Structure 1
Amino acid sequence: MSIGPLSEWVTAAAEIAAVCVALFLPVYDKKQEKRKKTRNMKAIFRFLIRKALDEKDTSNLESYFKISYLVIDSNDDKQIYSIVQRAIEILNDKDIMQDKKETDVEQLLEYLK
């Protein structure tokens, strides 16, 4: 019994590699796309929270929050939205001093990095 020519072994290895790429590349691409989407969402929320803190106006932050809430598709997104919701509550609370708001919001922004 012979093991066959080397060219057939190389061809078989190439076919196995092609099948592996065909099976796992879509999963990898989807994971990368989700990671990029989450990163971008965090960056936008960080920007909007800082802007709301500086301008003392949360209307843009609340609008973006309400619109983007419709596309939640993972537990990571739910955690991000709970952090943003807490930031909105802090920013809208009239009883909290501005210095305290800034420190509380900065602590929340650390979670969005």
Structure 2
Amino acid sequence: MEIGSLAEWVESFAEILAVSVALFLPYYQKRKANKEKNQQAKQIIVRTANKLLQQTNIQESIQFEELTKFISIYLVLATNDTTVTIIQLGDAILNVIGTSDQLEDEQQSQITKLIDDLNKIKI
């Protein structure tokens, strides 16, 4: 019984590897793109919320307007559960702020907790 030459084995292995890459590369690329989008959304919300914690006249600030628009647009574009969770936490931050121009201590602690929850999300 012959098992074939080494060249045939190498060629077969290369074909199997090529087919595997062709099958799984799109999945890997999509997953990587989702991960990058989630990380970016998380960073934007955390950074903007931290800036809002220290501001007075929040309703007229550019950061508040940007965060509101970002969350409303990104919610429509949400493609996976992690994205939805991130956006829901961002929306909760906006709900805590509400119509306040300056945050009280309780609101600041709630927002800080929501930021911590955002930072705990594994992407």
Where in structure 2 are the equivalents of 1:1-113 lying within 5 Å?
A: 1-56=1-56, 57=58, 58-92=64-98, 94=100, 98-113=104-119
What CA deviation, in whole Å up to 9, does each residue of 1:32-74 have, x standing for no partner?
1100110000000111111222224232221221222221111
Q: 1:36 to 1:97 in 2, by over 3 A?
A: closer
- What is the number of residues matched between the two proteins? 112
- Superposition CA RMSD, Å: 1.8
TM-score scaled to structure 2, two decimals?
0.81
Q: CA deviation at 1:92?
A: 1.8
Query: Greater relative contact order (Cα 8 A, min sep 6): structure 1 or 2?
Result: 2
Q: Kindly provide the amino acid, as one letter, of the partner of residue 15 in structure 1.
A: E
Whole-Å separation in 1 of the counterparts to 2:81 and 2:95:
21
Give the gaps of 5 or more residues in structure 1: none
Give the gaps of 5 or more residues in structure 2: 59-63
Q: Contact 1:45–1:84 (CA<8 Å) still a contact in 2?
A: yes
What CA deviation, in whole Å up to 9, does each residue of 1:4-52 have, x standing for no partner?
1111111111111111111111111111110011000000011111122
Runs of 4+ in 1 over 3 A off after TM superposition: none
Identity of aligned residues (%): 28
Q: Contact 2:45–2:67 (CA<8 Å) still a contact in 1?
A: yes
